[in-house]
Structure 1
């Protein structure tokens, strides 16, 4: 029909060919000059969408409504992050049938994400923070060197960005890749920024982001800063939690105290404070996890409706790697629950998760996820 119309307005054959060629060039130029689409194409996963902003839903969030569990984890094979759900806190099912939900190549400067952590704020939002790092970037063709900067000076990883994401429905997410060193040059020449986690600070009334910063390929410590309301950047200069060295901190408010678990010497240790970001007294005489191999990435979650807390951690020294679990009611004595699929904790459609974290869902949210992702949920 278009070509027939062209015969009327452009009777000359050569002119018609030039016109059509011009239209083709116009469409080609237009396609490549538009801003990149911030949707499933960005992540490679059709189940989620990256959006510019999200608004808090017109409903009140209450912790009394929480009834299920959400696990985030990653894998070395693809440097991407996954989600799994559980109705009982014992058996977890991956929502994408063992395939990643957050594709590192579309979310991170280094084309890979690691160390995912997810929590919920008092607004009901899900706050997801990850390390921007691809440890196989050279092999994958993303860079010409093993690391971005010389290993001799900056050591393993030497990455400096954090991936920050926020959602109310686990489908629509905002996204920011935040370079810590560029935002805060007063921090100096940092080796790395690793393993970010979040917790709501009731005094500051903000989400606090805490993570590892290392200097001189040896001096690793835990730092904290406050995020903006949109969770796209850190608003305050990161400060060190001076009493604690080590890496991979996890902070949980229990009663009037804050329970911190962290890693030093590839082992899990414990510290307690009555303040969220200072005053921690580490006990480095008693290793918390019962493993005989290297561990990292502690994370604590509560069994809903009980006074029992579960300490989950990455047993990366095992072959194959796995998650280990211990239970406690007083944070002095811990019961070993062994590993996924080696005790009461189970997975149904995935294996060897790494560096994970657990938060909570309402029954309606669990039902919505199961319907959206067509999940066949199983319990013990």
Structure 2
């Protein structure tokens, strides 16, 4: 009995001693596009602190839009790290305003990488994949989140039928992240019937916070909260942007030092981004005077990365400072 107990303690000690350490995130990768007509391509920028960002590759695309999209342009890129810690998923709107104007747009692009440099991709046309959605004319701003309950990756995006208001839908990606294995379902709609676009979900303290842009009776960024990922979202009747100018493309990321979260968004009529900080995802403080960028992004997202991953990106696309 004593020998068995001693052996068990020894095995536990060795397991702890030689276990792989958890990844330490010490930098941030900002993926974004720069605008209409020529700017609809994925670009990267780096930051060491989440406040000061520098564009990689001289602010030029790191992926050729013509090779990954049906239209030759992509917008609204969202990037995330997979649950395995070493795979990366990116999704984007398949859209080229220079060639096709503002739609109809019915496709999204799914990308996958293991090194942040080389990406495989697949274009998904919602109207062709799911016949019941052949009346859709907007498939905008897709994002991905891991659903631990079903152990699958959920893609959610804004979608519109005809002249109806935009609503947020979701579907689960297949194992290879090359398509959707479930039919789209409605995730959220604005109670007053107004449009809602640019969804961004953050998980904190066992709750899901859905940031989105409202349109119709009032416009701006609001939050709906639920304790379940795919249902039950309750709207908070409060705008969270810290400006009276029009905004869109909310993106929220957690600071590596644990000091809170950054909510950023595109002030698209002013040609600039605005940054705010929060600790509770309810009260937001303007911090534009603490932020600097050497580029002008549009809708994009930020993902924490390791020092090693930042070094790989710098080696490929140039220094960030």
What TM-score do the two structures reach when normalised by structure 2? 0.87
Distance in 2 of aligned mates of 1:227 and 1:355: 23
- Count how many residue pairs are aligned between Structure 1 and Structure 2: 293
Q: 1:99: which partner in 2?
A: 60
Q: 1:249: which partner in 2?
A: 199
Q: 1:74: which partner in 2?
A: 33
Shift of 1:186: 2.1
Is 1:128 the counterpart of 2:128 in the alignment?
Answer: no
1:150-165 equivalence runs, <5 A:
156-165=102-111
Distance in 1 of aligned mates of 2:214 and 2:300: 18
> Considering only aligned residues, what root-mean-square deviation do their CA atoms show, in Å?
1.7
Q: Secondary structure at the match of 2:224?
A: strand
Distance in 1 of aligned mates of 2:188 and 2:88: 29
Q: 1:287: which partner in 2?
A: 239
**Which runs of no fewer than 5 residues in structure 2 stay unpaired?**
1-18
Contact 2:128 2:134 in 1 (8 A): no
Shift of 1:102: 2.1
Residues 61 and 182 (structure 1 numbering): CA distance in 2 closer, same or farther, change over 3 Å?
farther
Shift of 1:104: 2.0
Distance in 1 of aligned mates of 2:121 and 2:97: 21
Distance in 2 of aligned mates of 1:77 and 1:99: 14
Q: Alpha-carbon deviations, 1:104-155, whole Å to 9, x = none?
A: 2222111111111111111221111010110110xxxxxxxx55xxxxxxxx
Q: Secondary structure at the match of 2:58?
A: coil
From 299, 308, 318, give the equivalent of 1:364. 308
What TM-score do the two structures reach when normalised by structure 1? 0.74
Is 1:117 the counterpart of 2:45 in the alignment?
Answer: no
Shift of 1:61: 9.0
Contact 1:61 1:123 in 2 (8 A): no
Q: 2:274: which partner in 1?
A: 324
Residues 63 and 346 (structure 1 numbering): CA distance in 2 closer, same or farther, change over 3 Å?
farther
Q: 1:65: which partner in 2?
A: 24
Residues 62 and 170 (structure 1 numbering): CA distance in 2 closer, same or farther, change over 3 Å?
farther
Distance in 1 of aligned mates of 2:98 and 2:315: 35
Q: Secondary structure at the match of 2:135?
A: coil
Q: 2:223: which partner in 1?
A: 270
Shift of 1:64: 4.0
Q: 2:5: which partner in 1?
A: none
Q: 1:89: which partner in 2?
A: 50
Q: 2:10: which partner in 1?
A: none
Distance in 2 of aligned mates of 1:259 and 1:134: 30
1:339-354 equivalence runs, <5 A:
343-348=289-294, 350=295, 352-354=296-298
Q: 1:181: which partner in 2?
A: 127
Is 1:312 the counterpart of 2:257 in the alignment?
Answer: no
